A and B are shown apart, each in its own frame.
Chain A
Amino acid sequence: MSTSSHAEILEYLNHGDAGLAVRRLLDYCLDTGQEELIREAIRLSRSYHQATEIGSLPDSFTEQARSLIDKAAATGQQHPAPQLLITADQVAKTYTGGNFSLKPISFSLQTGQVLGVVGENGNGKTTLLRCLAGQLALDGGKIDYHLLRKPDYYAIKNHIAFIPQRIPRWYGLLKDNLHFSAAISGIHDGDNDRMVEFMLERLNLTRFAHLTWNQISSGYRTRFEIARILLQRPRLLILDEPLANLDINAQQTILTDLVFMARAAHNPMGIVLSSQQLHEVEKVADTVIFIKDGNCLYSSTDKEEKITSTAIEFETTLDRDSIHGLFAAGDVSLQYNGGFYTIESTVLTAAQLLTTLVQAQVPLTYYRDITYSTKRFF
């Protein structure tokens, strides 16, 4: 990690992305495993959050951050090599009532990787996730947890953390719940305090720590649950619709944070998440699988074989006939879903399609290349 993380954080600082720099710096210091550096990072993060509340960062902030980055870099901590975490081989599930079946699905995941599972509601995303988490018995196929030797389900459930869409309510103070989770994961005494404080800072939750479940919004509940789960140091994190309760900024922040944490040296893990937020998931996922009616229709790992045409979507005030007139007959097919236009073409590339639109001075308010996006299957 060292050199790339070091440069990355410095770049954030240089460009004034102090918030992102602080979050990455926390990860960076945690990866060193050195208590003093972690404490210093927590203090820096606190001073940053206090400063942002009053509106301006002190001049010394950047200097302190740089100094901390240098100290962390000096430890020479290296990223561990990725490890194969889980292999799902022809995993299938049929509910007792027989009204739904998840058809055989296969994939594998390494530490540091993110697998996105997308699809419409009721098509089998949660079923697949619960099978992976050991919550549902399989009717076909098998799942290998490569980091466990002859595991029973108790070991598997300790190895995996599953965050359901509807998070069970917490009782008591939020902070106590975090301390408790850390304690039952073997983090005791001073380490317990340090890790809880770290996680609160890392997810920007410190100011809510002394509240109760009823006193925070659903978005913060999701963040607290993620903090709690991360304190348990799972090797595989499974999240079912984690973005559902988050605002747009929080969605982006949480996803990038999760990816950073998955790749951290402290506890490298794999992440499986389901979501309706296709573009957000596709942005961070190494692999995306699309499930419809229990079938895996598409996996981004085999996109080269399955994708034979270019597709873009855009939003414009121009009418349909005018757009059609821009392209030679037979080169493209145009669809309109009431909000966006979608153009598919087997002869033109996405860049060529965009060039045509720009050259024709089409007023574009939104454009996206969805050639390799699962959006095409919705």
Chain B
Amino acid sequence: MSTSNRPLVPSFLQKPDDRLLRNYPAIWQTRVHLVLYYALLVAAAIFGLSFVTYANAKDNSTVGGMLTFTILISLLGMVIWVIYLLRFNVFKRFGQWRATDSLLMYVLFTISVAAIISICFIPSAVQTMRANQQFGNEEVVQDINEINRTACLLEYDILDLDWKPDTCRLISKREEEAVRVSVDTVAEEAISREDSYTRIDTADLRRRMSQTDSVVKLSDSVFIFYSVPDYQFVDSYKADEYTREKVLTSAQLFRTYLKTRPNPDRAVLVVRLNALAAKWAAPGYQFENGYTVYGSEEHYTYRIRKKYALTAADYGIDNVVEKKYEWKDDGSAYFRLLWYFTLSITLLLFIYRHSTTRTFFLSVLTAVLLSILTGLMLMGSGGGSEGENFFIFLVFYYLLFGVLSLVIFTARSRSVFQGIALNLFTFLTPFMPLVVASLYVISKRYAYLHNRTIEGSVYYAIRDDFDSGPVYLLAELAGPVLFLILLQFLIRILYRKWQAAPEQ
């Protein structure tokens, strides 16, 4: 077997490439082996670059710039690959293709597209990896607690130790006018305006009840919520979400360390606090001068943070926590982003390669025109309270395209309309379970709305005891499965028949 020196094919891949060309043309023409090879090379380069760039986890995240760079690299790779695929499209239509070749090619297209797109996620993943390498989860929480505790002990004398009360009274709608003047009567500070109360609903009341530092129940309808002053000089949202040890709240700090005047070894604590502040300080960060979020430069929080450079440490902790838990918090969203981009691009590619250039672009035009038309009709109809009309339109279009596609089985000649219908039917198929799931979820919400008509008006709230997550997850899984089944047993055959039929 003589090997050919093909451009972009490294020498060690020449033989496998030749073998694929001669024995597995369906695989060879997708160039998946080259895509994976180059994706791996680029991924390694970006990994290395990111590893060096994200050396200090306390730095502000600069992943945006790197992301732009990797998107451009991915785009370039995608364009080169797609140009190759679209060009090598001349005489592939007829031959002794195996029944599973269409399915195989679709899967290989998916793998290739996913490999190219996934490069974009490397900087963010490396950033998270580096943050996790440098700081442990428990370490972050322990240091936060130690900084706050130490600062409290050292600066006990300037801390505000008075708890802030807030009176809450349950009222009925009819009482509202009367309540307007009688509420907040137990507040320590004089009420300056009659209507200075905040109106909350029962859900908010429950939330406050669970989150308040202390509550006193004066009667069945009157509560006093107490809030402790802020003793958290450093903190980070979600710092303790995935740890055994939790960040001490201000109330916990007060109860543990501030109930009685402490008598610390100041010299030791100062050294320790300064060391911790230095450990966590975000590089290059300067304490803000002039403006303060604490109302006054005399505020104890402002003074303490400035004295021990805790703002820089706070930023450092924030940056580390944000990076550490980025994939835990947003991993599923990233995966969906990757999946839906991959799915859409793969579908377009698959449709282009199974269609003619003219029919493909006419299909795109039809989709755009239908979107505009549907938008106009939705504007006229109002779209439904939950957008259900849009989904109903999608179901209608899908069924229409499906029926038109089935005409291919009996058609004597190839028509561009059948081609457009088949293209759009193919594209919509993996999304249809999601559309149906959306309609199902909306119907559940409707059932709730109809049951919640209070005093003649519909109660516009979302049913909170119906978990739509599993329904959507099932639909997301069902989409690709449905598509692959239809591809193998219907779509492939329809394309084959349409492609082979004579023109009029």
Interface residues of A, Cβ cutoff 8 Å to B = 96, 134-138, 152-154, 156-158, 168-173, 175-176, 179-186, 188-190, 192-193, 210, 228, 232
Contact = CB atoms under 8 A, between A and B. Distances in A.
Interface residues of B, number: 33
10 contacts: A96-B504, A137-B503, A153-B497, A157-B500, A171-B90, A176-B6, A179-B21, A183-B25, A184-B97, A186-B96
Given A96-B504, A152-B497, A188-B22, 18 more contacts: A134-B500, A135-B503, A137-B502, A138-B502, A153-B501, A157-B94, A158-B94, A171-B84, A172-B88, A173-B6, A176-B4, A183-B23, A183-B28, A184-B25, A185-B96, A189-B23, A190-B1, A192-B22
B29 interface: yes
B500 A170 contact: no
B502 A134 contact: yes
Interface of B: 1-2, 4-6, 18, 21-25, 28-29, 84, 87-88, 90-92, 94-97, 412-413, 496-497, 499-504
A164 B84 CA distance: 24
Given A152-B497, A157-B500, A175 B23 contact: no
Contacts of B497: 152-154
Given A171-B88, A210-B4, A137 B412 contact: yes
Contacts of A158: 94-96
A153 B501 CA distance: 6
Given A135-B502, A154-B500, A158-B96, A180 B25 contact: yes
Contacts of B94: 154, 157-158
Given A157-B94, A171-B90, A193-B1, A180 B28 contact: yes
Counting from the closest, the 5 A-B pairs by CB-CB distance are A184-B95, A137-B413, A153-B500, A154-B500, A183-B25
A179 B95 CA distance: 13
B2 to A, nearest CB: 7
A267 to B, nearest CB: 15
Contacts of A210: 4-5
A192 B2 CA distance: 11
A175 B502 contact: no
Contacts of A173: 4, 6
B500 A136 contact: no
Most chain A C-beta atoms within 10 Å of own C-beta, residue among B5, B24, B96: B96
Contacts of A171: 84, 87-88, 90
B95 A232 contact: yes
Contacts of A232: 95
Given A134-B502, A137-B502, A152-B500, A180 B4 contact: no
Given A173-B6, A184-B25, A193-B22, A168 B500 contact: no
Contact of A228 (B91, B496, B499): B91
Nearest to A181: B91
Contacts of B18: 179
Contact of A185 (B95, B499, B500): B95
A176 B24 CA distance: 13
A137 B500 contact: no
A189 B22 contact: yes
Nearest to B6: A173
Contacts of A157: 94, 500
Contacts of B22: 179, 182-183, 188-189, 192-193
Nearest to B499: A154
Contacts of B91: 168, 181, 228
Nearest to B95: A184
Contacts of A190: 1
Contacts of B499: 154
Contact of B503 (A136, A179, A188): A136
Contacts of B24: 183
Most buried by A among B1, B6, B22, B496: B22
Contacts of B88: 171-172
A193 B4 CA distance: 12
A181 B90 CA distance: 11
Nearest to A229: B91
A173 B8 CA distance: 12
Nearest to B84: A171
A184 B28 contact: no
Contacts of A156: 500
A158 B501 CA distance: 12
Contacts of A179: 18, 21-22
B92 A184 contact: yes
B504 A137 contact: yes
Nearest to B502: A137
A134 B1 CA distance: 36
A4 to B, nearest CB: 33
B406 to A, nearest CB: 16
A158 B500 CA distance: 10
B341 to A, nearest CB: 27
A168 B90 CA distance: 7
Nearest to A175: B4
A173 B21 CA distance: 12
A135 B356 CA distance: 14
A180 B500 contact: no
A13 to B, nearest CB: 29
Contacts of B92: 184
Contacts of A168: 90-91
A119 B232 CA distance: 95
Given A158-B95, A232-B95, A170 B503 contact: no
Q: Which of B95, B413, B496 has the most CB of A within 10 A?
A: B95
Nearest to B87: A171
Contacts of A136: 502-504
Nearest to A171: B87
A173 B504 CA distance: 35
Contacts of A228: 91
Contact of B96 (A135, A184, A189): A184
A50 to B, nearest CB: 16
B502 to A, nearest CB: 4
A154 B503 CA distance: 13
A182 B6 CA distance: 18
Contacts of B90: 168-171
Contacts of A184: 25, 92, 95-97
A172 B25 contact: no
A186 to B, nearest CB: 4
Contacts of B28: 180, 183
A330 to B, nearest CB: 53
A75 B92 CA distance: 37
Nearest to A225: B91
Nearest to B493: A154
A185 B23 CA distance: 11
B21 A183 contact: yes
A335 to B, nearest CB: 42
Contacts of B501: 137, 153
Contacts of B6: 172-173, 176
A266 B84 CA distance: 35
Contacts of B97: 184
**Which of A171, A186, A190, A228 counts the most B-chain CB atoms under 10 A from its CB?**
A171
A176 B21 contact: yes
A152 B18 CA distance: 33
Nearest to B412: A137
Contacts of A189: 22-23
